Amino acid sequence: MITGRGCPHACTFCTNQNMWRRRYRVRSIDNVVKEIIEICDKYKPDMIHFIDDTFIFDHERVVSICDELIEKHIHVIWSCSSRGKPIPSCVLKKLREAGCRGIIIGAESGSNRVLKNIKKGVTKQNIEETVKGIHRGGIGVVCSFIIGFPCDTERSLNETIQFAKQLASLQISKNEPPVLSQFGAVMPLPGTELFDNLLKRDKLFLMENWDRYDFSTPIITPKNLSKREMQNYMCKALKVGIRILI
């Protein structure tokens, strides 16, 4: 379910800023909780996932939602998404108490140079601190990475894959909350800064092949890398994600 639309950030690859004009509009806490109760009563789900791009953006709001769930004795497991900015331990404690068992982090890259280039607004160190904090708080983490940005190099691709392995090593035993990774190929979507820049440079030779926009097929190839090399890195990254899951 969704509790708010939009995102105030300006990542070059994301369509959100064009669609919602970098505004974040939220539903009232009462309205959100009523829907959760209705879903639980009607469908009795094993889990609910909040698809907001920035569910934990407003700490005060998310704590209020958690307080309502706790006070009303709504016992349901749920997950959400957040960016790679550290979450206060008091907020994490409240999230877990209210049923949160998983947070997806938009990590994107293990290279500070790439993170800056795509205007992510966070550093590799921020992401690492965020993941460590969530893990300590007893909540599972899925780190979402994107590879194949025009600014990517062999070095940055290797840094990203190695970073995923490093974060996964935080989970010492199977009894601990998992630290997983998922990888996707960069998709230059219409309306994004990335798409417009590539269009100016006549780099969107697959623009009419929309069936290949599956997030696992490299659509563009970074400078100084061949198409085959990029495909090999994609396979390598996907194998790392699968290995971590196992």
When divided into structural domains, the chain yields a total of 1
Q: Are 192 and 15 in contact (CB under 8 A)?
A: yes
The residue type of 78 is W
pLDDT tier for residue 174 given thresholds of 50, 70 and 90: confident
Residue 6, phi-psi category: left (phi > 0), alpha (psi -120 to 50), beta (remainder): left
Residue 232 has pLDDT above 90, yes or no: yes
Distances (CA, A) of 239 to 2, 6, 53, 120, 245: 31, 32, 26, 25, 10
Torsion (CA) 237, 195, 13, 48 in degrees, nearest 10:
-90
**Contacts (Cβ under 8 Å, ≥6 apart) of 244:** 164, 165, 168, 179, 180, 181
**Contacts (Cβ under 8 Å, ≥6 apart) of 60:** none
Give me the percent of the chain exceeding a pLDDT of 90: 79
pLDDT digits (tens, 9 = 90+) for 29-80: 999 999 999 999 999 999 999 999 989 999 999 999 999 999 999 999 999 9
pLDDT tier for residue 149 given thresholds of 50, 70 and 90: very high
What does DSSP say about strands 77-83 and 100-108: parallel, antiparallel, or unpaired?
parallel
Structural domain of 217: 4-245
pLDDT tier for residue 137 given thresholds of 50, 70 and 90: very high
- Residues 177-197 have a mean pLDDT of 93
Residue 112 has pLDDT above 70, yes or no: yes
Residue 246's pLDDT is: 47
* CA gap 118, 105 in Å, rounded: 16
Residue 70's pLDDT is: 98
Domain of 185, CATH number, reads 3.20.20.70
Give me the percent of the chain exceeding a pLDDT of 70: 95
**Contacts (Cβ under 8 Å, ≥6 apart) of 222:** 148, 149, 150, 151, 152, 153, 230
Residue 245 has pLDDT above 60, yes or no: no
**Residue 187 burial class via C-beta count within 10 angstroms: exposed 0-12, middle 13-18, buried 19 and up:** buried
What is the residue-averaged pLDDT of the chain?
Answer: 93
Q: Are 150 and 17 in contact (CB under 8 A)?
A: no
Q: Give SS3 for 120.
A: coil
pLDDT tier for residue 204 given thresholds of 50, 70 and 90: low
pLDDT tier for residue 21 given thresholds of 50, 70 and 90: confident
Residue 50's pLDDT is: 98
Distances (CA, A) of 63 to 4, 79, 98, 103, 131: 15, 14, 9, 15, 19
